[in-house]
Structure 1
């Protein structure tokens, strides 16, 4: 599973992109993704203070969408 992020630069809010957080292969259940998302998002945000997370969602590895 992945956590898909829609993120924008704090200094230039019009500059946005997508990123993903890869979860372990054991975390193939959407409920597990939702349960672990908050801590994983907090860790990602701490490592990327220049970006703001606008939205996120869980997605299975085999069904990655083109966009959020």
Structure 2
């Protein structure tokens, strides 16, 4: 599973891009991903203080959607 993110710069909120957080398990259950997403997002946000997470969602590896 992956967490797909739409992130924007705090200094320039109109400048956004997509990023992803790989999860440490290979399950396909979205509820498991949602359960672990909060801590993964908090850790990602702590290491990227110049960015703001605008949107996010879980996705199965290998089937990345074209839009978030």
Coordinate RMSD, CA, aligned = 1.0
Q: What are structure 1's unaligned runs of at least 5 residues?
A: none
3-state DSSP of counterpart to 2:11: coil
- For each residue in 1:14-65, what CA deviation from the matched residue of structure 2 results, as whole angstroms up to 9, or x when unmatched? 1000000001233432111000000000000000000000010000012101
3-state DSSP of counterpart to 1:61: coil
Q: What are structure 2's unaligned runs of at least 5 residues?
A: none
Runs of at least 4 residues off by over 6 Å: none
TM-score (norm 2): 0.93
TM-score (norm 1): 0.93
CA shift for structure 1 position 12: 0.4
Query: Structure 1: how far apart are the matches of 2:16 and 2:41?
Result: 17
Structure with higher helix content: 1
